[in-house]
Amino acid sequence: MSGEPLIFEHSRPGRRAPSHAPGACADPVGLPAGLLRTTPPLLPEVTELQAVRHYTRLSQLNFSIDTHFYPLGSCTMKYNPRAANSLAMLPGFLARHPLAPAGNGQGVLACLYELQEMLKAVTGMQGVSLTPMAGAQGEFAGVAMIRAYHAERGDLARRVIIVPDAAHGTNPATATMCGFEVREVPTDPQGDIDLEALRQAVGPDVAGIMLTNPSTLGVFERRITEVAAIVHAAGGLLYYDGANLNAILGRALPATMGFDVVHINLHKTFSTPHGGGGPGAGIVAVGERLEPYLPVPIVGERAGRFVWLTGQDRPRSIGRLSAFMGNTGILLRAYVYMRMLGAEGMRRVSGYAALNANYLMAKLGQAGFEVAYPQRRASHEFIVSLKGIARDTGVTAMDFAKALLDRGFHAPTTYFPLLVPECLLIEPTETESREVLDAFVAALVAIRDQARSDAAAVKAAPLTTPVRRLDDVRAARDLDLAWRGHGMPANGA
């Protein structure tokens, strides 16, 4: 337990130190007694000091961008400007009820409207809906729109979504959620999509393809125009997974590449915080064909006032994906960040992200690491395979990851994409300095040296973290997912 007990273990029955709730209040009148709770829930009874101390201590057990280099590939862990946080949390924004009339939200609606416009500009698309609450929900919105498009045309045979083998897991999972079957296409040795296989895969049963470009292999899909032509010719539409937009911001537009719909993880490219798991924001942008189907609400403008456009205004919409308006507070953070960057700043994002990734790739290559696509430019990320080292020493990508923690670096993404064995997907981002990258190279070299001289030592890592390697098998077998009270078995009802 990392030295810090559970909050429940700080609790004592009868401790009453409330300052946050109203004074004692009688049970409601008029409610049938049978509907009332008889035993109180098992929440801790602690003072504010105990709570503050406990959660402050817990926070200190985390790695985070604010404390560590965090080169987690595909996740774009760059600096989250503090101004975005405080400005999105201004009392005037926080206090507004989601069902307050639009007339009472002109300030926030102005920001959202302008955000929609900026997102059109960075994608080249024609319509935007801000409502999806993370990348995966953006994917859902996109694929659901593709479905609605075919359905409205009566083209009901299209039951398949094509996904490359290197795709992120959310892509196939989303296709399934939308009721499609998934058909995988392979990658060629240069990291591009296998065009021959794609030609085989398309057909009248194909609704569309989901791609990210640059791909999760960290390289730009050079024949994207051909890919688009093949899919479009077969009657399918193209979905752009914008998780990697950071790599091409201001350099190329998904619309020009031939995509019909794109989601953007604002928590990646536009640097809203990931909060140890979320919230994100997975806005969708579409071309003309899919514009009518955008999920609602959308911010519109009428006679100089901003209004919510809902299902009544947009009857062909795929509908509503959240009870209100998605992760508004996150949208405001992205808005602040984009306004601070401006056009030039956005191009710098991709430029310096590419500089850092290519530099790190070059340095690691020169240091003798096996880079997955050494002949290619890295995008904002790249892959190192530790296959050779693992074979020679038994030290795996996982071991490297843990050894990095001991050296004060968060590990890169491991074992994704699945098709490169023993891989590290490394994304330094544009906000890290050259010094940090050099130190990271030195750490990887040192770990490799240790792997050769004393593999067991690397496999023993981490030693300096609050806990050492955890027993995952036991975690899944003897499920202990909730505390049940002093002296109670872990499993409960």
Site for ligand PLP, rule CB under 6 A:
74, 134-136, 168, 170, 212, 216, 241, 243, 265, 280, 282
The C-alpha angle with vertex 489 and arms to 486 and 493, in degrees rounded to 5, equals 110
Contacts of 224 (CB under 8 A, 6+ apart): 211, 213, 257, 258
Q: Which is nearer to ligand PLP, 147 or 168 (CB)?
A: 168
In the sheet that holds 282-286, the strands lie side by side as 127-129, 282-286, 261-265, 237-241, 206-211, 160-164, 181-185
487 binds, among ligand PLP, other proteins, its own copies, none (CB under 5 to 8 A by kind): none
CB 386 within 8 A of CB 370: yes
Q: Is 50 near other proteins (CB under 8 A)?
A: yes
Q: Which is nearer to ligand PLP, 243 or 404 (CB)?
A: 243
Residue 230 pairs in a beta bridge with none
Q: Which of residues 162-201 bind other proteins (CB under 8 A)?
A: 168-170, 172-182
Residue 413 pairs in a beta bridge with 425
275 binds, among other proteins, its own copies, ligand PLP, none (CB under 5 to 8 A by kind): other proteins
Q: Is 81 near its own copies (CB under 8 A)?
A: yes
Q: Output the six-digit token pair for 390.
A: 């693992």
CA distances from 446 to 73, 131, 173, 391 (A): 21, 46, 39, 18
Please tell me the distance from the alpha carbon of residue 40 to that of residue 18, in angstroms, as a whole number.
Answer: 16
At 354, which helix (H) or strand (E)? helix 328-366
216 binds, among other proteins, ligand PLP, its own copies, none (CB under 5 to 8 A by kind): ligand PLP
Please tell me the distance from the alpha carbon of residue 93 to that of residue 111, in angstroms, as a whole number.
Answer: 11
Contacts of 468 (CB under 8 A, 6+ apart): 460, 462
Please tell me the distance from the alpha carbon of residue 12 to that of residue 403, in angstroms, as a whole number.
Answer: 40
Q: Which of 199, 232, 339, 407 binds other proteins (CB under 8 A)?
A: 339
**Which part of the chain contacts its own copies (CB under 8 A), choosing from 28-36, 315-323, 414-422, 428-436?**
428-436
Mask of contacts with other proteins, 74-113, x by CB under 8 A? -x-xxxxxxx-xxxxxxxxxxxxxxxxx-xxxxxx-xx--
CB 166 within 8 A of CB 193: no
Q: Which of 18, 57, 310, 442 binds its own copies (CB under 8 A)?
A: 57
Q: Which is nearer to ligand PLP, 265 or 328 (CB)?
A: 265
| # chain residues binding its own copies, by CB under 8 A | 27
Please tell me the distance from the alpha carbon of residue 245 to that of residue 268, in angstroms, as a whole number.
Answer: 8
Q: Is 487 near other proteins (CB under 8 A)?
A: no
Query: How many Cβ atoms sit within 10 Å of the Cβ of residue 253?
Result: 16
Q: Which is nearer to ligand PLP, 128 or 458 (CB)?
A: 128
CA distances from 291 to 44, 52, 135, 147 (A): 49, 48, 19, 13
Q: Is 176 near its own copies (CB under 8 A)?
A: no
212 binds, among other proteins, its own copies, ligand PLP, none (CB under 5 to 8 A by kind): ligand PLP
Q: Which is nearer to ligand PLP, 115 or 307 (CB)?
A: 115
Q: Which of residues 200-239 bind other proteins (CB under 8 A)?
A: 219-220, 222, 224-225
Q: Which of 233, 324, 368, 394 binds other proteins (CB under 8 A)?
A: 324
Give the nearest distance from C-beta 336 to its own copies in angstroms.
Answer: 11
Contact footprint for its own copies (CB under 8 A)? 10, 12, 19, 47-50, 52-53, 56-57, 60, 65-68, 78-79, 81-83, 91, 340, 431-433, 435
